[in-house]
Structure 1
Amino acid sequence: MELPRPRLLAVSEELGEAELAALKFLSLEHVPMRKLEAIQRAQDFFEALQEKGMIEAGNLSFVKELLYRIGRIDLLVAQLGSSQEEMERELQIPGRAKCPPLLSSRYLLFQLSEDITEDELKSFKFLLGKELPKCRLYHKTTMLDVFIEMEKKGILGEDNLSILKNLCEAINYSLLKRIEEYELNLFGEEEMLIAEEQRGSRGGPEGHARWLASSVAPDAPGSWNESSQLEAYKMTSQPRGVCLILNNHNFAKAREAVPEPKNMKDRNGTDVDAAALSSVFSKLHFTVREYRDLTAEEIRKTVNIYRCEDHKDKDCFVCCILSHGKKGIIYGVDGQEVPIQELTTSFTGQNCHSLAGKPKVFFVQACQGEACQKGVFIETDSGEQDSSVETDARFQLNCIPAEADFLLGMATLQDYVSYRSAKEGTWYIQALCQHLEYSCPRGEDILTILTAVNQEVSRKSCKPNAEKQMPQPSFTLRKKLIFPVT
């Protein structure tokens, strides 16, 4: 019986570049890595599977399983005559699965790669810059490519997830929790407790972003973790630097525009945020300069003033943006757009020489979309709804420059709204200010503080549908960033 080449060709023509990469990654146990790396077309991938006996006449079970694993149920149904329900039944049969089993590190890596954002990918590349060849970390490198290079270097494997856990710990704690859940299912609670005790020297969950752990071959030449303790940025100048606050409240100009932009309400409560930011950064020895109700062009001109300012006697620059927004965008009070990346890129070493090598910190309180994050609704005894909670929606996100020494704290994930109380300010800025004021005197670094902010904001919900919000920090910091109060 001949191979059903027309059906395989039809499948090939529907697969994108990222999907082909996922299929190759899930097939590494059956086809050598060197051969897979040379494959650029899905047709060639299927030919390689045939050569290895993974596709045979009358037997496309492996192809079906691959399509099921990457979520292309449409192709499974239309081209291969199967269904999601059929695959779920078949994969429960012992020995039936040929892809990495659901409880395997390779399938875990594939799932992680699906959820890691572009900003987080940049952070992985940056932190692995010394460990992996730079030629492998160019801008088109995907997260699956990074995992493969880590495997080649021997720093990632079925029984070697420690370095990946350290990276996730510093970049996105929720990724670390997923790895720990996988290990818990695989090894059981007792072995996990032993592992947690071994990790305890880094301060437990509260200090997870404080260090990159010393398990990255600390004595190996060229290791990116040559010391168990990261160096801190200099933070001794008086003042430390400028804290620029761009506070947009009154959007009457936007509402007067023709056509009138949607959802351009006045941002009641934003002055509460601005006052909190001014108070906390004054205590942290920054010169606070606030600008209110700027149009898009006025935002650009204001940012340009500080780009051109001489910061040579300062150790840091902070910019806090409070406005309406959408994905990768903030709005002027005239309803015109300003890309966040345009603002952050203004302060790269090339564009602002006096800040080269110094931390540039941006906090953005604005929606990044219209979607609402759903949570589990827990009824309270009050029986009341907080009608004062609003969103900053007008409706990554490559907002942060690839250059080192940047930190971007976003109030919410891309595509989602963020919430603001007309009386109490926004969830994100209020939590940020409270944790800065509490933790900076204790010597906590900014990544640890932002993780605590993530935890606090994620616990809040907006009734009646229990909508949630999750902030998103991203960074290219090279050192610990600590704001001393003395």
Structure 2
Amino acid sequence: MSTEFRKLLLEVSEALGTEELSALKFFSLDYVAKGTLEAIRDPKALFEVLQERCMIGAGNLFFLKELLYRIHRIDLLTAHLGSSREEMERELQVPGRAQVSDYRQLLYGIAEDLTSENVQKVKFLLQGPLQKSKLQENASMLQVFLEMEINEIIKEDNLTTLKDILQGFRADLKKKIDAYEGKKREKYSREEVRYPVSVSVYPEEQGAKQYGEIYKMENNPHGYCLIINNHIFKNRRHNREGTLQDGESDSSGHLEVDARPPTSIPDRADILIGMATVEDYFCYRSRSTGSVYIQSLCEKMELLCPQRMDLASILTEVNREVATKDIEGFKQMPKITSTLLKLLIFEVPQ
């Protein structure tokens, strides 16, 4: 690594305060496990971790630029990274360019807009769902949001509780969440246009432009789904407690390690395999509510099948959600292997 790059990181680090570090860690949660972030006490250590994750580097400065832009340190952006507010605003208009999720941007914006009195009201209303020790007076709103995520009071696809809390005294912020949810629904609608309703087995009947063939799914029911759920084993120590709960809510309760999957690459067409984790790595399962992967899969199937999203794209959504979860300090990366020749869309019976 070049000396110049390390000097740059040092100068930026020394200019950042404690609250700004907390914000940077919050924005990095989609890429670094919570347990790792909790151990970080200064910006230099955070930048080291981001380098290890290949999020920043001598020739890869965009995420660092975006982080500084998000925390409003335009002075550092200009002085050390040769960028500007205007340049970043242009860059971030490019679809897919932003690396900080809309979800984290939303929560950070809400935290910034809440007054001290507002924060105390939020903490008061969260007593019960959260432990009192997590709602101490010196706990920042970002820390409270993090605890809400850990306890699954809020998540990217479900902000109902936060909206209910804010409705009473900050209806303007509740409207911000409504706008975020509307934008998210619109995004899914655009995905549907990519694999649209007009993409039909019989496109000539609809006069539609065909973006890709889809498998015929005309029978009702379509067929049979065989689910093998291994629970009890001869050796009781291998019993998979919690597996009966797999599937709709997730849990931050005690997690166990499942086996590493064998390498599985099909040599025939029309096969789609979704694995909970890549080869030689463990996947995690809660004893009380089941597999993190299976729960996400069920949730995404229920949400996206009615929107006619194809199964490979749904599995990609599952990959993204599971990969961004902090599973008690661990990360899990699912894997898709496909020899499909067409789009596989489950037609939901009317």
Structure-2 residue corresponding to 1:159: 157
1:91 aligns to 2:92 (yes or no):
yes
Query: Distance in 1 between the 2:46 and 2:128 partners?
Result: 32
Matching residue's letter, 2:2:
E
Give the 5 Å matches for 1:303-318. none
Q: Counterpart in 1 of 2:231?
A: none
Identify the residue that residue 137 of structure 1 maps to in structure 2: 135
Secondary structure at the counterpart of residue 171 of structure 1: coil
Q: Provide Cα deviations, 1:158-197, integer angstroms capped at 9, x if missing partner.
A: 1110000010012322221221122233325xx9xxxxxx
Partner of 1:68: 69
Q: Per-residue deviation at 1:41?
A: 0.7
1:115 counterpart (110, 113, 116): 113
1:49-448 pair list within 5 angstroms:
49-100=50-101, 104-187=102-185
Matches of 2:137 and 2:117 in 1, distance apart? Answer: 12
Displacement after TM superposition at 1:95 (Å) = 3.1
SS at match of 1:30: coil
Q: Once the two structures are aligned, what percentage of the paired residues are identical?
A: 51
Shift of 1:151: 0.4
Give 1:93 shift: 3.0
Structure of larger gyration radius: 1
Distance 2:16 2:169 in 1: 30
Q: Structure 1 CA distance, aligned partners of 2:123 and 2:39?
A: 22
Letter in 2 for 1:149: E
| Aligned-partner Cα distance in 2 for 1:57–1:120 | 41
Which one-letter code corresponds to 2:67 in the other structure? L
Quick one: which amino acid aligns to residue 46 of structure 1?
Answer: F
Once the two structures are superposed, what CA deviation does each residue of 1:409-437 show, in whole Å capped at 9, x if it has no partner? xxxxxxxxxxxxxxxxxxxxxxxxxxxxx
- Counterpart in the other structure of 2:2: 2
| Partner Cα separation in structure 1 for residue 27 and residue 163 of structure 2 | 21
Q: Which amino acid aligns with 1:166?
A: D
Q: 2-side partners of 1:127 and 1:97: how far apart?
A: 33
Match in the other structure for 1:25 = 26
Structure 2 CA distance for aligned equivalents of residues 29 and 61 of structure 1: 16
**1:288-310 superposed Cα distances (whole Å, 9 cap, x missing partner):** xxxxxxxxxxxxxxxxxxxxxxx
- SS of alignment partner, residue 125 of structure 1: helix
Deviation at 1:131, TM superposition (A): 1.0
Q: Distance in 2 between matches of 1:133 and 1:36?
A: 21
Aligned counterparts of 2:116 and 2:86: Cα–Cα separation in 1: 33
Higher relative contact order (CA 8 A, sep 6+): 2
Equivalent pairs counted in the alignment come to 186
1:43 counterpart letter in structure 2: K
- Give the 3-state SS of the residue equivalent to 2:168 in structure 1: helix
Deviations 1:452-473 (A, max 9, x none): xxxxxxxxxxxxxxxxxxxxxx
* Partner residue, 1:324: none
Matched AA of 1:70: I
Letter aligned with residue 24 of structure 1: K
Measure the CA separation in 2 of the matches of 1:77 and 1:180.
34
Q: In structure 1, what is the equivalent of residue 196 of structure 2?
A: none
Distance in 2 of aligned mates of 1:119 and 1:96: 36
Which runs of 5 or more residues in structure 2 are unaligned? 190-350
SS in structure 2 of the partner of residue 79 of structure 1: helix
Change (3 A) 1:95 1:105: closer
Equivalent position SS for 2:146: helix
The 2-side partners of 1:99 and 1:2 are apart by: 26
Question: Cα 1:182–1:95, aligned 2, differ >3 Å: closer, same or farther?
Answer: closer
- What is the rounded CA distance, in whole Å, between the counterparts of 1:169 and 1:85 in structure 2? 34
Supply the AA of the counterpart residue of 2:96.
Answer: G
* Unaligned ranges ≥5, structure 1: 192-486
Cα distance, 1:87 vs structure 2: 1.6
CA distance in 1, matches of 2:93, 2:66: 12
> How far 1:49 sits from its partner (Å)?
0.5
Q: 1:178 to 1:93 in 2, by over 3 A?
A: closer
Q: 2:86 & 2:175 partners in 1: Cα distance?
A: 29
Measured against aligned partners, the alpha-carbon deviations of 1:131-153 in whole angstroms (never above 9, x if no partner) come to 11111111210000111000000
For 2:34, give the aligned amino acid: M
The aligned residue for residue 16 of structure 2 is 15
Structure 2: how far apart are the matches of 1:184 and 1:2? 45
Indicate the SS of the match to 1:146: helix
* 1:342-383 deviation per Cα after TM superposition (whole angstroms, max 9, x unaligned): xxxxxxxxxxxxxxxxxxxxxxxxxxxxxxxxxxxxxxxxxx
Shift of 1:128: 0.7
TM-score, normalization: structure 2? 0.51
Q: Which has the higher strand share?
A: 1
* 1:113, distance to aligned residue in structure 2 (A): 0.5
Partners of 2:49 and 2:90 lie apart in 1 by 27
Query: In structure 2, what is the equivalent of residue 269 of structure 1?
Result: none
Give the root-mean-square deviation of aligned CA atoms: 1.7
Say if 1:54 and 1:112 are closer, same or farther in 2 by CA, change over 3 A.
same
Taking the aligned partners of 2:46 and 2:17, their CA distance within structure 1 comes to 13
Residue identity opposite 1:74 in structure 2:
D
Shift of 1:16: 1.5
- Shift, 1:34, TM fit: 0.9
TM-score with structure 1 setting the length: 0.37
